[in-house]
Amino acid sequence: MTRHALAHLLSEHGIQPSAQRLAVAEYVLDTDAHPPADRVFAEVRSHIPMISRATVYNTLNLLVRKGLLRQLVLAEGKVVFDPHMAPHHHFVDEVTGEIHDIPWDALEVRKVEALKGVKVREYQVVLRGTSTRGR
């Protein structure tokens, strides 16, 4: 996505597209990885050395609040960010720590509506194991 298109996207979602916000959004919205905030900070800081950790974290939280980014807790104490807002599942490789998207229709979850005493707003399946891709 071009910087102009990205600035327009942020503006459409009520976000003032400052240089720092654009740098954070450019990295995190255009990755297939599921980076934690520290990785986003390190990546953006390599291009904008004066950016603060607070600016990166605040921008990530703003992107989540505005619906451009999803915050996921896939392991205890490990928060990552996912730019893919369409429903999908995840596979966590227990050897590498990598997180892979699994298409929504690749798995079948049945009878969610039959659960008693709960009103499910959304769900996702998190699979854990070892990837055989590329080995």
Does domain 3-82 sit in CATH 3.40.640.10? Answer: no
The mean pLDDT of 62-68, rounded to a whole number, is 97
Distances 122 to 21, 58, 72, 85 between C-alpha atoms, Å: 28, 25, 13, 12
Each domain of the chain, given as residue ranges in start order, spans 3-82, 88-129
Which pLDDT belongs to residue 66?
Answer: 97
Integer angstrom CA distances of residue 50 from 20, 46, 47, 94? 10, 9, 9, 35
**pLDDT tens digit sequence for 73-127:** 887 778 999 999 999 999 999 898 889 999 999 999 988 888 999 998 888 899 9
pLDDT digits 0-9 by tens, 26-59: 999 998 889 999 999 999 999 999 999 999 999 9
Confidence of residue 134 (pLDDT cuts 50, 70, 90): low
Global pTM value:
0.86
